Structure 1
């Protein structure tokens, strides 16, 4: 599937039918998720890090891109890659490495070392990524205000506007309370990614009713799988 087809998956109109993108952490999990019928996948950086023996945020860039490439090779569905804050790469090099790995999209964070980046500077960098990628990548711009202690939805909406203007295809206010999702949906243009937990909290359909266009699970699938293995060993 091309990036155009991947982008089209985000144009769903039924509120209760968001695009669900589970997150593979290696080739075997990617194959299992494809076999379950999902039309596309989105890698979680924390899950991939765990599979490689690193703490979240500590994976070397070369190992992350190599892991993404293995996942892409293992399946026939499109894969979007969480590449954290871009590993300090210039926009052109970041785009080249994503395309070399076979990714159709990327997830990019707007905080570094637990500190929010200046939103205007970050939006300028996102614009550079967009210019380098053209239409070849779907850019999901993560908004970290809620997980960095900034609870006011207006701050997330302000950042979203800057990132969409810079060319982001989707924005991702990670950690946003479920209660504020309708407010975010009213203030944000274009697709909105929301994280869901596995087996607890609102279902993907319920999150869609509250405004989510796209659902991802971060590291929760990988962590639940590890819990399952621990249970088998016990």
Structure 2
């Protein structure tokens, strides 16, 4: 039996009040439990990590599969889980609101809504993007649950120089009721500092997709939380593929780096 959802949600909100914390991204219950075992305070799902585990490309997993995944993660660990809820699996604000209500029922402590239109691959018009965040905020408020709303703008993933429009959207999303702001693709120190100042006092999430700054350095810039997206899943896939390539070549040497079964059984055997 995991902690009650209300307790997880309160703990998650408290993490955002001060300091800086790392929010790692498991892709299944096993990886989530391992991260809990290692002592992390909270987790976030990853759309790409889930998709790859199902043999699909990122953004090719439907709403119902994602909801089942979120329910399994929340039931499988005692930690708060933030949902990578992509673009809300709807285009109209009312559709986003309905799906947010379903996500809340899985037990998540937070959820993110992107401003990317999956149909066209372009960002939603700013006015519509704001209305979508307002709809998500209203759905959370109507539920009576203390679920954290994270608003994401995806523009800097396509253009790392698009700082001004990204900040403009994040500020508007904050005014629309987002609790935490997020612009994956921001990497330059000066850009991160500018983004932190623009959305303050609300916390900023920074995505670290590859080695770069340390947690201490990001904290020094004012970042409140750090996630890694599909980074851990990609690292796991890299290890598996390296070992498999050696198997294909006739060698079992790649298995020499594998964790002992006893170690894994000890960790997972400690969960109910």
What is the deviation of 1:231? 3.0
Aligned to 1:155: 165
Q: Describe the superposition over 1:79-99 as per-residue Cα deviations: whole angstroms up to 9, x where unpaired.
A: 111010011171332122112
Gaps of 5+ in 2: 1-6, 247-272
Could you tell me whether the CA contact under 8 Å between 2:89 and 2:96 is conserved in 1? no
Aligned to 1:75: 77
Gaps of 5+ in 1: none
Give the Cα separation in 1 of the matches to 2:126 and 2:9: 27
What TM-score results when the alignment is normalised by the length of structure 2?
0.80
Q: Which of 29, 47, 56 is 1:45 aligned to?
A: 47
Q: Which of 2, 12, 16 is 1:10 aligned to?
A: 16
> SS state of the match for residue 215, structure 1?
strand
Could you tell me whether the CA contact under 8 Å between 2:110 and 2:148 is conserved in 1? yes
Could you tell me whether the CA contact under 8 Å between 1:108 and 1:142 is conserved in 2? yes
Give the Cα separation in 2 of the matches to 1:197 and 1:95: 26
Q: Which of 118, 127, 141 is 2:125 aligned to?
A: 118
Aligned to 1:27: 29
Aligned to 1:168: 178
What is the deviation of 1:141? 0.7
Give the Cα separation in 1 of the matches to 2:197 and 2:146: 28
Matches within 5 A, 1:90-109: 90-109=95-114
User: Could you tell which deviates more after superposition, 37-46 or 179-188?
Assistant: 179-188
How large is the RMSD of aligned CA atoms in angstroms?
Answer: 1.6
Aligned to 1:192: 204
How many residues matched?
Answer: 229
Q: Which of 188, 194, 211 is 1:183 aligned to?
A: 194
What TM-score results when the alignment is normalised by the length of structure 1?
0.92
Could you tell me whether the CA contact under 8 Å between 1:145 and 1:151 is conserved in 2? no
Matches within 5 A, 1:123-138: 123-134=130-141, 135-138=145-148
Aligned to 2:149: 139
Give the Cα separation in 2 of the matches to 1:31 and 1:211: 29
What is the deviation of 1:4? 2.4
Give the Cα separation in 1 of the matches to 2:60 and 2:14: 33
